[in-house]
Amino acid sequence: MKAILYDAIPMMKRATAGLFCLLIALASCQSPDTDQPQAAAQQPTAKADTVQQQRRPKPEYYSFKGVEKKRVYICLDESADTFHQKHDCPVLITCQSTFRNLTLARAVEAFDRYNCEMCSADLAYIFDENAVQMETGL
Ligand SMILES: [Zn+2]
């Protein structure tokens, strides 16, 4: 009788130890479970931040005398705010939406587009108010 009781104590100890291990396992299992939805929720927003560039406001000033009939390309993407002279411009190629060929005047006036730095840097003067002020001052 004494021997049985003596044996039962370590068994109980092992059982409690086992229970402890189980609790620890449950606790360690639970924290990734609760973290997961948060991480999943954070991922798309982080992705959207990197992909979606801030669209600039409508150009306040522009003067495209002589080049208004020039044909340019625009990407009909929500975040796109540029026009392109080259149909194979690296920026235009990344367009996730459809693109359109239209006149420079329409691209600026109807679609609020700025010149693309990659293929249309030479047209930056269209939006340069100071350059034109100097011109009219002469
Ligand atoms: Zn371009």
Whole domain around residue 83: which residue ranges? 71-136
In a domain, 87, yes or no: yes
Does residue 65 surpass a pLDDT of 80? yes
Q: Which residues neighbour ligand 1 (ion) by CB within 5 Å?
A: 84, 89, 91, 116, 118-119
In a domain, 48, yes or no: no
- % residues pLDDT > 70 (the chain): 56
Q: How far is CA 138 from CA 30, 108, 126, 133, 134, in A?
A: 74, 26, 18, 9, 6
pLDDT in tens, 67-117: 999 999 999 999 999 999 999 999 999 999 999 999 999 999 999 999 999
- 77, 76, 120: which is closest to 101 by C-alpha? 76
Q: What is the predicted pLDDT for the residue at 50?
A: 45
pLDDT band with cut points at 50, 70 and 90 for residue 49: very low
In a domain, 2, yes or no: no
In a domain, 128, yes or no: yes
Q: How deeply is 90 buried, as exposed, middle or buried, from its count of CB atoms within 10 A (0-12, 13-18, 19+)?
A: exposed
pLDDT band with cut points at 50, 70 and 90 for residue 4: low
Give distance in angstroms: CA of 88 to centre of ligand 1.
Answer: 8
Give distance in angstroms: CA of 49 to centre of ligand 1.
Answer: 22
Number of domains, the chain: 1
In a domain, 28, yes or no: no
In a domain, 101, yes or no: yes
Indicate the average pLDDT of the chain.
78
Neighbours of 40 (CB within 10 A): 9
Residues in CB range of 116: below 8 A, 6 or more apart: 82, 83, 84, 85, 89, 91, 92
Q: What is the predicted pLDDT for the residue at 130?
A: 79
Average pLDDT rounded to a whole number, residues 115-132: 90
In a domain, 16, yes or no: no
In a domain, 3, yes or no: no
Give distance in angstroms: CA of 91 to centre of ligand 1.
Answer: 5
Neighbours of 129 (CB within 10 A): 11
